[in-house]
Amino acid sequence: MDRNGIVEHFIRVRDDLTLFAAEYPAAHRAADGDDPLPVVCLPGLSRNSRDFHGFAQALSNDREKPRRVIAVDYRGRGRSDWDPDPSRYQLSVEAGDVLEICGALDIDAAIFVGTSRGGLILHLLPGMAPGLSRANILNDIGPVIEIGGLLAIARYLNDEGRYASWRAAAMALKMLHGPAFPALQASDWDEMAQSLYREADGVIIPDFDPALVAPLLELSAETPLADLWPLFDRLRAQPLMVIRGETSSLLSQKTVLDMARRHPGLHSLTVPGQGHAPLLHLPGVIEPIADFLATLA
């Protein structure tokens, strides 16, 4: 356990890679004596478990019902091994990794939070491990992905730079994403830099395998994307919340409305002043999530 109370897990998976997961134990017993389901957090394409640090702290230290929270580094991200075979950077493989991590940590039922790519993985889990996900939160992702937003992600990931200082990295993030995130403060950009980058040989660099970006660079505005509605329909059996950034370029309001028509119990939240993908621990976001969790038996 590190000085922040995080339990660090390094888990060897089927193809001999070692993957990292950060565990935030519940700070105390729930006020009602209940043992609530854990929350498993799955990050976006190039992101890692540090994205969920503030969110996990808030849930694990909740006054009434603290929860055990696990945040995952997929292969090729954060503190997990890079895959020597880049063709394995795909959703089905990463979903299998999530199942192995859950098995290693004795998680047979959980609430899942998926940001962007993590939400796509959540679309696969019901078919791979029925009963594992008891409720899901999709953060700025759904069964229809706007190709323009995907192309924008490809461009900025391909142009990721090297920075002389953490301040320079934070300022670069603000320059790139600031127009879509007017709600963020200076400290938020600093935290984002700490979660996105790592220091190597005195230089601040992106904390992911650059090979992740290659498939995105093959996309164009005419590229047909997979129909995910049949997979989304599998999520209808469980409580579901979708969070959309007000200025998101990846998840449209129309898609959220279509999701609500297919899932009549859908809880939805549009986050003002944030784009793709909203920071979950900020005021105005964490409270509705806590309210949604409170509705779950």
Q: What percent of the chain has pLDDT over 70?
A: 98
pLDDT score, position 161: 85
Give per-residue pLDDT as tens, 104-151: 999 999 999 999 999 999 999 999 999 999 999 999 999 999 999 999
Q: Do the Cβ atoms of 43 and 74 come closer than 8 Å? A: yes
CA 60 – CA 16 distance, rounded (Å): 31
pLDDT bin (cut points 50, 70, 90) of residue 2 is low
CA 58 – CA 209 distance, rounded (Å): 30
Q: Where are the alpha helices (DSSP H) in the chain?
A: 53-60, 91-104, 117-128, 147-158, 166-177, 186-196, 214-217, 229-234, 253-262, 286-294
CA 205 – CA 161 distance, rounded (Å): 7
pLDDT score, position 148: 94
Better pLDDT: 32 or 198: 198
- pTM for the structure as a whole: 0.96
pLDDT score, position 5: 84
The type of residue at 277 is A
The SS3 call for residue 96 is: helix
CA 245 – CA 289 distance, rounded (Å): 14
- Lowest-confidence pick of 126-130, 153-157, 165-169: 153-157
